[in-house]
Amino acid sequence: MKIENYNFKKKKALVRVDFNVPLNSELEITDDTRIRGAMPTIKKILSSGGSVILMSHLGRPETGFEEKFSLKHLVKHVSKLAGTTVKFSNDCIGNVPLEMAKNLKSGEILLLENLRFHKEEKKGNEEFAAELASLADVYVNDAFGTAHRAHASTAIIAKFFPEDKMFGYLIESELNSMDKILEDPQSPFTAIMGGAKVSDKILIIENLLERVDNLVIGGGMTYTFVKAKGGKIGASIVEEDKLDIARDLIEKAKAKNVNLILPTDNIVADKFDANASTKETPIDEVPDGWMGLDIGQESINKIADIIRESKTILWNGPMGVFEMEKFEAGTKSVALAIAEATDKGAFSLIGGGDSVSAINKYKLADQVSFVSTGGGAMLEYMEGRELPGITAIRG
């Protein structure tokens, strides 16, 4: 069932959104990207004659109500973006939301209080899901960031809407982008994996080895591979217990004819600091006491050339400590090369928290094909795992 074709006329739609936005100490929203992301779905339902009941989590409340995690702080801003006054229920279950939902008219929006004020949400409690379900006729899931969790509002609830459940536009576009990469990648397909640790990325690398032509490794995880090959890595970040896995991935890449590209040079620093002394060395000759914090110029040139020649690109994780100016060249060059390749017709997907921050930092988000909003959910989907929130609707 597609949101595009569904007839919402006179229907109450319960929409799971991801309004987990950052708030400052004055409880003002400092980044409303996630709220904006849900607007196409909300507006579609309203404009086709339905009403919208919004449910979300915000932060990590421990035991019940906490002022700083109340969704009431979002009411004004959601109203402004939606162009209509949003009603607010100070609980997500019980008589209050039930009455308010009953009286909701076509074109109106009701926002429910934080789902995680009830521990049943994260536990995936069925009665809790049934109570939420009783508020509406249709269920729409548009919260990709929590699709990998089997929570009451993201997965369990779907069974109460056997004929009337669907994804919102946001999840739909996330799935379309990832499926394009997993199922129908145009060759050459290059994946660029970076970030601090290889342990977070082993499963996705294994899944990608079945599909890619080029696999670029960068960032802190490089040094586990370099050490596994017998190189000198000085004080660089390393996972000693993953050396065997790194060797195994190198072998698998060879067996599958994947071009595995490890950096050949790097910028090393005498301490982990924005003002550290730096120099350039071969990747496997990091002096004792020094640490590699970015890829070097030779590696940048090689990696950027490969990216520019690619037709499908997946990027997850920075090439160095891009938060510090001295160590951002690698990450910035990769971001620019991806934008260039996209301009020449490649399909590019950027996912995972820090590469998303990087692409935003360099103001290139609108020059790539798709920027995923779903950190952990995106990684799990790309690993080939089933996400409870997706399976609950797609089957």
CA 78/CA 89 separation, integer angstroms: 14
By rule CB under 6 A, what count of residues binds ligand AMP? 17
Asked if 200 is part of the footprint of ligand AMP (rule: CB under 6 A), the reply reads yes
For 172, 241, 275, 284, 367, the CA distances from 328, given in Å and listed in that order, are: 33, 28, 13, 20, 19
Q: Which residues contact 229 (CB under 8 A, 6 or more apart)?
A: 247, 250, 284
Asked if 296 is part of the footprint of ligand AMP (rule: CB under 6 A), the reply reads no
Which among 64-72, 105-113, 137-145, 189-197 is the span making contact with ligand AMP, rule CB under 6 A? 189-197
CA 247/CA 345 separation, integer angstroms: 35
Q: Which of 234, 292, 296, 389 binds ligand AMP (CB under 6 A)?
A: 292
Residue closer to ligand AMP by CB (options 91, 239) is: 239
Residue closer to ligand AMP by CB (options 50, 292) is: 292
Asked if 195 is part of the footprint of ligand AMP (rule: CB under 6 A), the reply reads yes
Name the packing angle between helices 353-361 and 329-343 (round to 10°).
Answer: 80
Bridge-based pairing of strands 51-55 and 12-16 is parallel
Backbone angles phi, psi at 283, to 5 degrees: -60, -30
Contacts to ligand AMP from residues 206-225, by CB under 6 A: 219-220
Residue type, 262: L
Cβ atoms of 165 and 391 within 8 Å: the answer is: no
Q: Which of 37, 97, 296, 318 binds ligand AMP (CB under 6 A)?
A: 318
Tokens representing residue 186 in the block: 């145009």
Asked if 321 is part of the footprint of ligand AMP (rule: CB under 6 A), the reply reads yes
Residue closer to ligand AMP by CB (options 41, 224) is: 224
Which among 32-40, 96-104, 154-162, 192-200 is the span making contact with ligand AMP, rule CB under 6 A? 192-200
Residue showing the smallest CB distance to ligand AMP in the complex: 195
Q: Which of 352, 374, 388, 389 binds ligand AMP (CB under 6 A)?
A: 352
Q: Which residues are catalytic?
A: 34, 197, 353, 376
Which among 23-31, 46-54, 66-74, 190-198 is the span making contact with ligand AMP, rule CB under 6 A? 190-198
Asked if 374 is part of the footprint of ligand AMP (rule: CB under 6 A), the reply reads no
**Torsion on CA atoms 365, 366, 370, 371, rounded to nearest 10:** 20
Residue closer to ligand AMP by CB (options 352, 388) is: 352
Cβ atoms of 66 and 108 within 8 Å: the answer is: no
For 6, 217, 282, the CA distances from 243, given in Å and listed in that order, are: 51, 15, 20
CA 202 vs. chain centroid, Å, equals 17
CB of 317 to ligand AMP, least distance (A): 4
Contacts to ligand AMP from residues 226-285, by CB under 6 A: 237
Summarize as ranges the residues that interact with ligand AMP (CB under 6 A): 195-197, 200, 219-220, 237, 292-293, 317-318, 320-321, 323, 352-354
